[in-house]
Structure 1
Amino acid sequence: MVVTNVAASASIPSRMELPVGGGVAEFMIPVLAPGAEHDELFAVPTHRRAVIVAGPAITVRGDQLGLLRRTVRWTDEVELFVHPVTARLAPSASGLVRDLEGEVTKTITNDDISFHALRSYEPGDALRNVHWRTSARTGQLMVRQFEETRRSQLTIVHTTDRAAYASDDEFELAISITASIGVQVVRDGTRMSIVSERMPLSTATPTSLLDDTSRLVETSGDHANLRDFTRDATKRLPAPSVVMLVGGSQVPLADFRAAETVFGLDTQTIGFRAELGAPSRIAKVSGLTVVTIGQITDLPRVMRRVRP
């Protein structure tokens, strides 16, 4: 971090104070000519994912006896984001369907893209859907019916419940899994929602997503189980075509299967278990795909084999 543009015209040195996280960095600013500048380089430790609040930067000037003192505030508080470790995934590695017409559902509608059949006209039907050739041949108005389609919509449900994880490092691994998948899906341009117990995550840009993952902290007691959390967190979201449930090694497989029942039959569900040091693998449990990740560097290789 560079503290710059500190100008002074006084004949006495100044001391700069910069609160960083829970500490305060201090710098001595020498006597400066009017309009002069002095730069100080300050390195912020970034060994672990975090949001570090820095500032405000202030200068304190006074005499050695402490009789005179002047404090000047130079900056406001700023947030410094230490992003989680991520793995670069291949485009469309999440196995999402990328189709201009979306995914065909079993719902019949009167206005969509995928043609299904003809039926007799009923009062209130839009005249633009009348099939005039068939109507002329049969002597009665016939209208088109369509199968409802929808664009691919991914929902990632990430639990931050500390009971789901065997250790802090496993908690960090799960966040790295969510961040890695989320960043690639944003780059792919697929619609996506990401939810956790205390906050939804921004999916506007890769940077905003990573910033929000830096804010995630362990929680406790928000919901009785993964299914209740999933139901409450997704009930106001668009209907998903693919759901990814992300948790730790302490989440029973039965909880993943129970959370799967929150969604309809048209929704494909994949469970991700962060299990630090375990062999990374893909398994089928009662029809549910469960992906175990032992280290984040395994994620690209495993994701190439995931098929919802």
Structure 2
Amino acid sequence: MSPRSRDDARSSGRLGALAVSARRWPDLVTPLGRGVLLTGVVTLVVATTLNWQEFVQLGVAAIALVVLGLCWQALPGAPTASLVLRPSRLVEGGPTATAEVRVHAGAVPMLFPKVVVPVGPREVGIRLPFLGPYADHAATVALPALPRGVHPVGPVAHEKADPVGMVSRRVASGVPIELFVAPRVVELAVFAGGLTNDLDGATSQQLSMNDLAFHALREYAPGDDLRHVHWRSSAKAGELLVRQYHETRRGHVTILLDDCADSYTRLRDFELAVSVAASVALRAVRDDFDTYLRCGPHVARGRSAAAMTDASCRFVTTRDDAYAALSVEAAGTVGGTGLVVQVTGARRAGADLHAAVGSFGQGVDRLVLRADSEGRPATDDTAGVHQVVVPDLGLLPELMARGRR
């Protein structure tokens, strides 16, 4: 693109923005400008009626101030601004973040401009000093405390106003930055599943003909590998006996967080469930298990603590109950899971949980964690399923220590 074409494009962009501003000029006029404009119109009407020349001049001057304010918005050289977050990842209830705002003024001086930084649904505003043409200025803004989630910060906006304050227009610059606020977690002394983390993996109840965990001897069947024949026992028994093993697998842990709002008695129960799921996921990652954490459409997998924490920031509830379908999808995605941890609320029926975990096949260990902020701490091992009721996040380590002994 030639320099002339670029200039034409910039001019077209400015004219387009100016045309949009002109169509919404009543919104641009400040309360002071509306008062001055109304005063000018009334003064002109009175002056024309009574033939008072002095009042005509006063009315024209009042209207001219508003017109000049509108013309001020058409001046070229818009300022630019950028944001730097420190830090960009927080923990709910912990220290807050700060944002460094860097402003580069345009060709028009900025008369003590007000800069606004959107922070999620809120805004933080600061007043900058006088900035001459093309001046640079940096200011630090303290951001408010935010709940768990991913909050967009920015883009930075400044209120472009004329020197008298008749007309003001908010001009945004830069791009928004995501601020991650992670849920509170607790350190678990041992992994929730109680599985042994060793080089052989975690043993299951499935039998295999080729593995490391010895189970028993059985009679030879056609097709068995002769390398597994136990010759000494075969000589004593007078028939061929082969070794049989417990199947071992790498430590795969699947954590399914129920995102259906109807599963929770209170909204804070879901936040408690998020903290519980994140605590278990981080413990699994530290114990070097392959971890799969899912809540609704948001998934994190692998052995990265940062990935688990970032994913937990995005978890939200929904009115649609797709828990069973998501469990089937998770079972088809992961494969070979040794432990399924189901984190839900007090209202989710046990039959739903049992049906959902059935997609993972036989020999899979189960752990059910129910977040109930007004319930009583309890553990239950009926029907071969270990279930824990967690009323408070601080009780989770103790309740987990009771389990699977």
* TM-score of the two chains, using structure 2 as the length reference: 0.62
Q: Which has the higher helix share?
A: 2
Q: What is the CA–CA distance in structure 2 between the aligned matches of 1:22 and 1:61, rounded to whole Å? A: 22
**One-letter amino acid of the structure 2 residue matched with residue 256 of structure 1:** L
Q: What is the CA–CA distance in structure 2 between the aligned matches of 1:157 and 1:72, rounded to whole Å? A: 40
Match of 1:12 in 2: 110
Q: What is the CA–CA distance in structure 2 between the aligned matches of 1:184 and 1:6, rounded to whole Å? A: 43
Q: What is the CA–CA distance in structure 2 between the aligned matches of 1:92 and 1:217, rounded to whole Å? A: 25
Size of the aligned set, in residue pairs, is 293
Task: Report if the CA contact (8 A) 1:176-1:296 is conserved.
Answer: yes
Change (3 A) 1:262 1:12: closer
1:205 equivalent to 2:315? Answer no
1:28-177 alignment runs, 5 A limit: 28-32=127-131, 37-46=137-146, 48-64=147-163, 71=171, 73=173, 75-105=174-204, 106-109=206-209, 112-113=211-212, 148-177=247-276
Task: Report if the CA contact (8 A) 1:81-1:214 is conserved.
Answer: yes
1:270 positional shift: 1.1
Post-superposition Cα deviations, 1:72-126, rounded to whole Å, max 9, x if no partner, equal 72x321111222222221143541221211134534356x55578897997xx8x
Post-superposition Cα deviations, 1:174-205, rounded to whole Å, max 9, x if no partner, equal 11110111112112211111122222135543
Match of 2:52 in 1: none
Q: What is the CA–CA distance in structure 2 between the aligned matches of 1:24 and 1:227, rounded to whole Å? A: 40
1:259 equivalent to 2:259? Answer no
Task: Report if the CA contact (8 A) 1:94-1:181 is conserved.
Answer: no
1:284 positional shift: 1.6
Match of 1:192 in 2: 291
Q: What is the CA–CA distance in structure 1 between the aligned matches of 2:329 and 2:292, rounded to whole Å? A: 14
Q: Secondary structure at the match of 2:333?
A: coil
Change (3 A) 1:180 1:120: closer
Q: Secondary structure at the match of 2:351?
A: helix
Match of 2:339 in 1: 242
1:280 equivalent to 2:377? Answer yes
1:272 positional shift: 1.0
Q: Secondary structure at the match of 1:298?
A: helix
1:17 positional shift: 2.6
Give unpaired runs (5+ residues) of structure 1.
Answer: none
Q: Secondary structure at the match of 1:200?
A: strand
Change (3 A) 1:92 1:259: same
Give unpaired runs (5+ residues) of structure 2.
Answer: 1-97, 236-241
Change (3 A) 1:295 1:197: same
> Structure 1 vs Structure 2: percent identity of aligned residues?
27
Task: Report if the CA contact (8 A) 1:197-1:233 is conserved.
Answer: no
Q: What is the CA–CA distance in structure 1 between the aligned matches of 2:296 and 2:254, rounded to whole Å? A: 14
Q: Secondary structure at the match of 1:266?
A: coil
Q: What is the CA–CA distance in structure 1 between the aligned matches of 2:170 and 2:181, rounded to whole Å? A: 34
Q: What is the CA–CA distance in structure 1 between the aligned matches of 2:321 and 2:376, rounded to whole Å? A: 31
Match of 1:26 in 2: 125
Task: Report if the CA contact (8 A) 1:157-1:244 is conserved.
Answer: yes
> What's the Cα RMSD here?
3.6
Change (3 A) 1:264 1:120: closer
Q: Secondary structure at the match of 1:175?
A: helix
Q: What is the CA–CA distance in structure 2 between the aligned matches of 1:72 and 1:298, rounded to whole Å? A: 46
Task: Report if the CA contact (8 A) 2:331-2:359 is conserved.
Answer: no
Q: What is the CA–CA distance in structure 1 between the aligned matches of 2:355 and 2:161, rounded to whole Å? A: 66
Q: Secondary structure at the match of 1:244?
A: strand
Change (3 A) 1:31 1:171: same
